Amino acid sequence: MNILITGIHGFVGSNLVVSLKECHNLYGLDIVAPEKEGVIKTFSWKDIEPTSFPMQNLPKFDAIIHLAGKAHDTKNQSAAQVYFDINTGLTQRIFDFFLESSAKKFIFFSSVKAAADSVVGDMLTEDVIPAPVGPYGESKIEAEKYIMKLLPITSPSGDSSFLKKENGIASKKQVYILRPCMIHGPGNKGNLNLLYKVVKKGIPWPLGDFENRRSFTSIENLCYVVEGLLTKDVASGIYHIGDDEALSTNELIALMCEVLGRKPHIWKMNRRMMEGCAGLGTLLHLPLNTERLRKLTENYVVSNAKIKAALGIDKMPVRAEEGIRKTIKSFLK
């Protein structure tokens, strides 16, 4: 297949190139265009402007994977409009291009944060009514809405593919909105790396009394899902992505210490005392406050049952612990 990948030089894009390059012809779309092994050519966003239609200078793409976006800024230093300009605006541009192109499949990387900032109940499923909090999740859900308003009513068979006439012949277009939870793997520089740096310094973890569970997404499992969507006839729709097993922060720290060859320092400070300290921190504007404590200790378990059923599999190829170990070992390098 001829596949166009936006944001191809990012963490997920780089891993997808490694995963797909042996079996597919890959093209990039990015704000930078250095040569990349496995990528035939990287185009700029100007190349897909409406003035470029009917796109005589571009290859005939079979699929488009949209990764480009503004990542969640944990320090909250980015202006809200930047998220909407990039996460919503670029999605609208590339989706309009898809509708006019020869591509039959469109894969958009949204986020579970577009669905919910906190999980109510045992786990987050696709039928939740979206309630994002903050510009990152809000800009992602706006991008989803732009795509979904162009999706037709789902047929009785559950297939909500486009039927678009090309040269008088009905042509099926399939659209997938993926909501992965926190993605990790070699080369990742997200929150796992921040926690690893704390553990590496030998700083004790004082919140061991909070037994939370969180879902993660191994980059290998993510690449496996994308390959399946590209090669199988899967119904259009929204799919949550995550590893099969959820892990606690205590388990994460234990895994990090195992890789480092150290004994974990997990302190089970009294839960009520820590909640009281966090409440005081809120009043005094200290680093540990009620909101930060909630984020560090809440449950956020995401169901991957729908995507596994769609792909016809019982389990993801990589276990959560195995994927986390690979990620942590990459930090050592």
Question: Where do the DSSP E strands lie in the chain?
Answer: 2-6, 25-29, 39-43, 63-66, 105-109, 162-166, 169-180, 183-184, 217-218, 237-241
**What CATH fold (topology level) applies to the domain 2-180?**
Rossmann fold (3.40.50)
State the architecture of 184-216+243-301+318-333 in CATH terms: Alpha-Beta Complex (3.90)
The pLDDT of residue 220 = 97
Q: Is the pLDDT of residue 37 over 80?
A: yes
**Contact criterion met (CB below 8 Å) for 7 and 91:** no
User: What percent of the chain shows pLDDT beyond 90?
Assistant: 62
The pLDDT of residue 170 = 44
Domain ranges across the chain? 2-180, 184-216+243-301+318-333
Q: Across all residues in the chain, what is the average pLDDT?
A: 88
Q: Give mean pLDDT, residues 70-94.
A: 82
Label residue 79 by pLDDT band (50, 70, 90): confident
pTM: 0.88
Q: Is the pLDDT of residue 142 over 80?
A: yes
For residues 260 and 275, give the distance between their C-alpha atoms in angstroms, rounded to a whole number.
30
The pLDDT of residue 333 = 77
For residues 196 and 73, give the distance between their C-alpha atoms in angstroms, rounded to a whole number.
18
Q: Is the pLDDT of residue 160 over 70?
A: no
pLDDT tens-digit profile of 299-312? 999 999 999 999 99
Select the more confidently predicted residue: 121 or 216.
216
Label residue 33 by pLDDT band (50, 70, 90): confident
Angle CA 159–163–166, to nearest 5: 150
Label residue 124 by pLDDT band (50, 70, 90): very high
Name which of 52-56, 203-207, 233-237 the model is least confident about. 52-56
User: What percent of the chain shows pLDDT beyond 70?
Assistant: 89
Q: Which two tokens stand for residue 41?
A: 């050519």
Alpha helix segments (H runs only) across 261-319: 271-284, 290-297, 305-311
Same CATH topology for 2-180 and 184-216+243-301+318-333?
no
Q: Give mean pLDDT, residues 206-220.
A: 92
